[in-house]
Structure 1
Amino acid sequence: MTTTNTIKGKINDAEEMARKIWLAGLGAYGKSVEEAQGRYEKLSEEASKMFDELVTKGESLEEDAKSKVKSTTNDVENRVADVRKKLGLDSEPADQRIEELSAKIDALTEAVAKLAANK
């Protein structure tokens, strides 16, 4: 083998090695992109799943809250109705009944004042 052929052979070997290094780098880049895409897709799926779970939990909590508010509202309405019934405000117009009760209170206040004055 001549020196020229030896040099050409070494140049070819060096070019081939450089090409393989280039291809290895390109392969590493491609593999890292694939892994990143895989991780992104997995995270995206997990985030979507977590969001759906949170929505479901929120719907459940909302339903519970509505039920409790409705129950509390019904309790309050029943208590108000009982108080109105005990005060006699459920059978006749409330304004008229309140005026009658106010008149009775005024009459009682006047009677107590007279009794207190006679002592």
Structure 2
Amino acid sequence: MNNIEMIKEKAASAEVLARKVWLAGLGAYGKGFEEAKSRFETLSTDSNKMFADLVVKGEKLETEGKSKFTEAKTKLVAKTDLDHRVEAVRAKLGLDSSDTDAKIEELSAKIDALTAAVAKLAK
């Protein structure tokens, strides 16, 4: 083999090697891109699932909160109605607390008047 053929063979070999290096680089880039794309899709899917789960949890808590609020409101209304009824009965029986002091003073005045009348009669 002469020098020219040897040079051509070495150049062809170098060209093949350079092409393989180029293709290996492209392959590495492609593999990296696919991995990044796969991870992004996984993250995107996971975040969408997490968001949907949070929405479901929020709806459940909202329903429970509304239910507890309605229950508390119903109890409060019932207690208020009962308090009004008790006040009405106390007023009808003359046990209204605002009238008690006035009635005690009125009775004290009557007792004082009776005591004075008995004292006059006793003289």
Q: Which TM-score band (shorter chain)?
A: 0.7 to 0.9
Q: Deviations over 1:63-95 (max 9, x none)?
A: 011101100110011001100110018xxxxxx
% identical aligned pairs:
41
Runs of at least 5 residues in structure 2 that lack an aligned partner in the other structure: 90-95, 116-123
Tell me the distance in 2 between the aligned counterparts of 1:113 and 1:9: 136
Q: How many residues align?
A: 105
Highest Rg: 1 or 2? 2
In the alignment, which of 64, 85, 102 is matched to residue 107 of structure 1?
A: 102
Q: Map residues 26-65 of structure 1 onto 2, 5 A cutoff.
A: 26-65=26-65
Q: With CA pairs under 8 Å and 6+ residues apart, which has the higher RCO, 1 or 2? A: 1
Partner AA of 1:107 in structure 2: A
Q: Deviations over 1:11-57 (max 9, x none)?
A: 22112101111111111101110121111112101110111011011
Partner AA of 1:44 in structure 2: S
Partner AA of 1:19 in structure 2: R
- Please provide the CA RMSD for this pair: 2.4
Q: Which residue pairs with 1:83 in the alignment?
A: 83
TM-score (norm 1): 0.77
Tell me the distance in 2 between the aligned counterparts of 1:110 and 1:11: 128
SS in 2 for 1:61: helix
Runs of at least 5 residues in structure 1 that lack an aligned partner in the other structure: 90-99
Q: Which residue pairs with 1:72 in the alignment?
A: 72
Instruction: Summarize the Cα distance change of 1:14–1:86 in structure 2 as closer, same or farther, 3 Å threshold.
Output: same
